[in-house]
Amino acid sequence: MQAVVTFMKRFVKKYNSTSLILRILVGLIIGVVLGLAVPNAAWIATFGDLFVGALKAIAPILVFVLVMSALAQGTSRLDRRFGLIIWLYMLTTFLASFAAVIASFVFPVSIVLADTAATDNVPPQGIGEVMHNLLMNCVANPVGALVGANYIGILFWAVLLGFAMKRLASDNTKIFLQNASDAVSQCVRWIINLAPFGICGLVFTNVSTNGLSIFTQYGQLLLLLVGTMLFVALVIDPFVAFVTLKKNPYPLVWRCLKNSGVTAFFTRSSAANIPVNMSTCERLGLDRDFYSVSIPLGSTINMDGAAVTIAIMTLACAHTVGVAVDFPSALVLSLLSTLAACGASGVAGGSLLLIPMACSMFGISNDIAMQVVGVGFIIGVIQDSVETALNSAGDCMFTATAEYHQWIKDQKELPYFLGGTRQVDI
């Protein structure tokens, strides 16, 4: 018995001292091997379910407590950085949508329509309904927002309560909020430390249950979607960061993709990845008062991947049914996709259910559009994974970009990977 205890202590020590990315890579490989070797071992998938479930459970509490605590302390200078981060989020979402339009014109694709995977959810009928849903989510019951993981409502009430406590709360109350914030953050670190087991379970599920047919029947569409998203992640977003910082952005891009994008790819949930992004920003040396607001905000309005999906799927549908789309109309689609993508998190089904609204611009019937939604769910194993990785990594990258831009203005030393001398734990 003593030997077993000694072995477990050594294993835990070695596990904790190994790089998290290396551990995740090992978990990924083990998940692939198990998915091919023992596809019926359903209990392995439980690790993935537990990991995603824990992240989704802690994320609403994390956002609510951190935002409220940050604003109550009154130490954050959001007035200098908040406008920039919103501008970066909205600009890149539009550029992503525009890139998707250009890609669809250069590489037009048709869709093999299939209604077998169509969803029973009702899509929004117009941009007005999307914005109405967005505003109604803001004023939702705060307890209901926490229970239902309505992050727009969580942000709204956390900001209100944070400003109210900044004016009215005693010092002891503010200390309690800070302690609560630290405690929730520690819980998040414990959960993230177990990510390799969760990734193993998630990869096992994908390998054991999904065949390769999606690569053949919808290969061109998937290639266009994934290729455009990679172009946004590796060209457009870095260019925007370069213009903002006047520094080589790729060391920052790589760190955000490695630490945030990889996990988001497998969890396929921006909400579940909020704790991961918080941890990444902490390791980048950023101000917690700032990123505790900008990260959950980014999970609701920084939707580059969603904008790409809406634009490409809509134009592919138009090409399939023979609807000619001129460039001015496609430009309007870019603007519509940008606004719609920002409201995607408040609509059941995410970005896919906004496709019928965009299709209505070109007179495409809802029946046909919903078949496109069904195709979206079929290829969602890959499309949604890449989309979430792009969105989530962008949240981290532009939060860091806005923060480092302020450091440059204040003549503070930048991190070593941007040419400075400041050491950060990443």
Backbone torsion region of residue 210, taken as left when φ is above 0, otherwise alpha when ψ lies between -120 and 50, otherwise beta: beta
- Across the chain, mean pLDDT equals 80
Residue 72 lies in a domain: no
pLDDT digit string, tens, across residues 211-245: 555 555 677 888 999 999 999 999 999 999 999 99
Average pLDDT rounded to a whole number, residues 39-47: 86
Q: Roughly what angle, to the nearest 10 degrees, separates helices 288-301 and 380-409?
A: 140
Q: Are 333 and 102 in contact (CB under 8 A)?
A: no
Residue 315: CATH number of its domain: 1.10.3860.10
Residue identified by tokens 């917690």 is 288
Residue 65 lies in a domain: no
For residue 127, what pLDDT is reported? 54
Residue 71 lies in a domain: no
286 φ/ψ angles, rounded to the nearest 5 degrees: -80, 165
Model's pTM, two decimal places?
Answer: 0.71
Quick check: 38 pLDDT over 80? yes
Average pLDDT rounded to a whole number, residues 160-173: 84
Quick check: 123 pLDDT over 70? no
422 φ/ψ angles, rounded to the nearest 5 degrees: -70, 130
Q: Comparing 30-44, 321-335, 366-380, which segment has the lowest mean pLDDT?
A: 366-380
Residue 386 lies in a domain: yes
Q: Between residues 357 and 239, which one has the greater pLDDT?
A: 239
Quick check: 399 pLDDT over 90? yes
Q: Are 146 and 61 in contact (CB under 8 A)?
A: yes
For residue 416, what pLDDT is reported? 84
Handedness of CA 275, 276, 281, 285 (dihedral sign): positive
For residue 53, what pLDDT is reported? 81
Average pLDDT rounded to a whole number, residues 136-158: 80
Report which of 359, 273, 351, 350 is spatially closest to residue 308, judged by C-alpha positions. 351
CA distance 290 to 281: 10
CA distance 182 to 62: 10
Give bridge partners of residue 27 from the DSSP assignment: none
Quick check: 76 pLDDT over 60? no
Q: Between residues 348 and 366, which one has the greater pLDDT?
A: 366
Q: Which domain holds residue 372?
A: 77-153+211-418
Q: Between residues 105 and 66, which one has the greater pLDDT?
A: 105
CA distance 169 to 36: 57
Residue 169 lies in a domain: no
Q: Roughly what angle, to the nearest 10 degrees, separates helices 78-106 and 304-320?
A: 20
Residue 179 lies in a domain: no
pLDDT digit string, tens, across residues 83-110: 889 899 989 999 999 999 999 988 888 8
Provide the domain count of the chain: 1
Q: Comparing 100-104, 143-147, 320-324, which segment has the lowest mean pLDDT?
A: 320-324
pLDDT digit string, tens, across residues 402-421: 999 988 888 888 888 887 77
Residue 97 lies in a domain: yes
* CA 399 centroid distance within chain: 13
Residue 367 lies in a domain: yes
Quick one: 1 exposed, middle or buried, by C-beta within 10 A (0-12, 13-18, 19+)?
exposed
415 φ/ψ angles, rounded to the nearest 5 degrees: -60, 160
Average pLDDT rounded to a whole number, residues 384-392: 88
Q: Comparing 41-50, 194-203, 210-219, which segment has the lowest mean pLDDT?
A: 210-219
